[in-house]
Amino acid sequence: MSALLQFMLILHVLLGLSGIVFTSIVVLGLLREKPAVRMAKNAALAGFLSFALSWVSGGYYYLRYYGKAVRDGIKAGSTPWAHTVLMEAKEHIFLFLPFASLIVLVALVSLGAKLEQEKKLKNLIALLALIILLLGLGVAFAGIVISSAAGRPTRL
């Protein structure tokens, strides 16, 4: 694996994790009795940027390396489901995570201080952020299994 691909993989993991952390800050900020809208807005922006950049770096790694050098190894290995089930699910879920986090950001920016009065809207945005958080965690755990499957010996 070239240095650029290694860098992209590291970036993909770290930014994905940052996205999860920032999204959890959005959830916590919105669920407060008196919502911390400004903090949630900043965290939503950081979360969106993290997911978007993780998306780009992960996509680059997937297209340039994973499909050619890793996928077939996993499929021929002792845990082929790591690709056929987890990776297939991961790549589809991951496609819409940046867009879902963009929706949270746009909603927070456009509604702003109104959210302090509009409890229903605030809770709906918090719910969307919570769904993003859970999906992000699922994708991250799938990544752990896929990474480990890539290092496993090929099935004889």
Residues that bind another protein (CB under 8 A): 1, 6, 9-10, 13, 17, 21, 24, 27-28, 31-33, 79, 137, 140-141, 143-145, 147-152
Give the C-alpha separation, 94 to 107, whole Å: 21
Residue 31 C-beta: closest distance to another protein, Å: 5
Report which DSSP code applies to 151.
Answer: T
67 token code pair: 């499909």
Q: How far is the CB of 32 from another protein (least distance, A)?
A: 7
CB of 86 to another protein, least distance (A): 11
67/151 with CB nearer another protein: 151
Nearer to another protein, 106 or 119 (CB): 119
What is the smallest separation between the CB atom of 69 and another protein, expressed in angstroms?
12
Q: Which is nearer to another protein, 99 or 152 (CB)?
A: 152
> At how many degrees (to 10) do helices 37-61 and 88-111 cross?
150
Q: Identity (one letter) of the amino acid at 54?
A: S
User: Which residue lies nearer to another protein by CB, 76 or 144?
Assistant: 144
The Cα 68–Cα 43 span in angstroms is 36
CB 145 → another protein: shortest distance, Å?
Answer: 5
Q: Which is nearer to another protein, 18 or 103 (CB)?
A: 18
Chain centre distance of CA 111 = 24
Half-sphere exposure of 86 (CA within 13 A, CB side): 21
For 155, which DSSP code?
Answer: P
